[in-house]
Amino acid sequence: MATTSPGTTKAGRAGGKRGFGHVDIWVFDLDNTLYPHHVNLWQQVDVRIRDYIVDFLKITHEEAFRLQKDYYRRYGTTLRGLMEEHGLEPDQFLEIVHQIDHSPLQPNPALGAAIAKLPGRKLILTNGTRHHADAVLRRLGIEQHFDDVFDIRAAELEPKPRPKVYERFLARHKVDPTRAAIFEDLARNLEVPHALGMTTVLVVPEGARVVLREEWELAGREAPHVDHVTDDLAGFLRSVVAERSK
């Protein structure tokens, strides 16, 4: 698919969109945003979550799969659904499901160089754990470009897209949302940030590559709260820097 340039109006959008000339805080989701979905890293977590549900609730894998996807869609994370519906204590869950093999991730110097040229602070906002985020950033070779990570524990176990997550994030890091841009792979996670005044960017699967995602996860590219869409994050960031330098 074609990506939208920071200097052009998004196709199909009535009126304009927010740009990047005023932005000095850059907020990035982690999984399936800083690395492509086809790496299949998060699928490892998916399987471990399913196995955990089977053991915790003593149900079949088929039933666990159904619950997992239902809770993920309704609560933002499967964890939150298990906490609210079944009283799950989160610490063991978080430790076990993130014990994955990060080796499929390869260093991405092009992405690192693009992030490095962005003026201002760079932050991670993830529904995962700090340990997982640190491992991902190290494997990509881009950890030195980020000022901090706001993870699920910092959010007091409230997941995106709940408004409290963004409120806590903004307060913790003293972020003025009207001077921030946010990059996400799920359009629903951009709705609250956009309402708060942030410039929003939806990062979608590369080109026509097949990905195993549900239809709702891929929806929202034309939503009014999505300012930009790209399938090439490093290239998009380079174009943002170039546009700002004009």
188-212: average pLDDT: 84
Return the structure tokens found at 190.
């951009």
Q: Are residues 50 and 171 in the same domain?
A: no
At residue 7's C-alpha, the angle toward residues 167 and 183, to 5°, is 30
Residue 59 sits in a domain whose CATH number is 1.10.150.450
Residues of the domain holding 175: 25-37+107-244
Residue 93 lies in a domain: yes
Statement to judge: residues 143 and 238 lie in one domain: yes
Torsion angles phi and psi, residue 205, rounded to 5: -55, 145
Q: Are 209 and 136 contained in the same domain?
A: yes
Domain assignment present for 8: no
Distance of alpha carbon 179 from alpha carbon 47, whole angstroms: 38
| Residue 76 confidence (pLDDT) | 84
Please state, in angstroms and rounded to a whole number, the distance separating the CA atoms of residues 122 and 113: 13
pLDDT in tens, 82-99: 999 999 999 999 999 989
CATH label of the domain that carries residue 164: 3.40.50.1000
- Are 119 and 57 in the same domain? no
| Residue 213 is assigned to a structural domain of this protein | yes
Burial of residue 122 (number of CB atoms within 10 Å: 0-12, 13-18, 19+): middle
Residue 16's CB: how many other CB atoms inside 10 A? 9
Number of domains comprising the chain:
2
61 and 170 within one domain: no
User: Could you tell me which residue, 116 or 73, shows the higher pLDDT?
Assistant: 116
Q: Are residues 84 and 185 in the same domain?
A: no
Q: Are residues 153 and 229 in the same domain?
A: yes
Residues 45 and 124 in one domain: no
Q: What is the pLDDT of residues 216-230, one digit of tens each?
A: 566 677 899 999 999
Query: Does the structure show a pLDDT above 70 at 79?
Result: yes
Residue 118 CA to chain centroid, in angstroms?
Answer: 18
| DSSP track, 65-119 | HHHHHHHHHHHSSHHHHHHHHH---HHHHHHHHT----TT----HHHHHHHHTS-
**187/87 same-domain check:** no
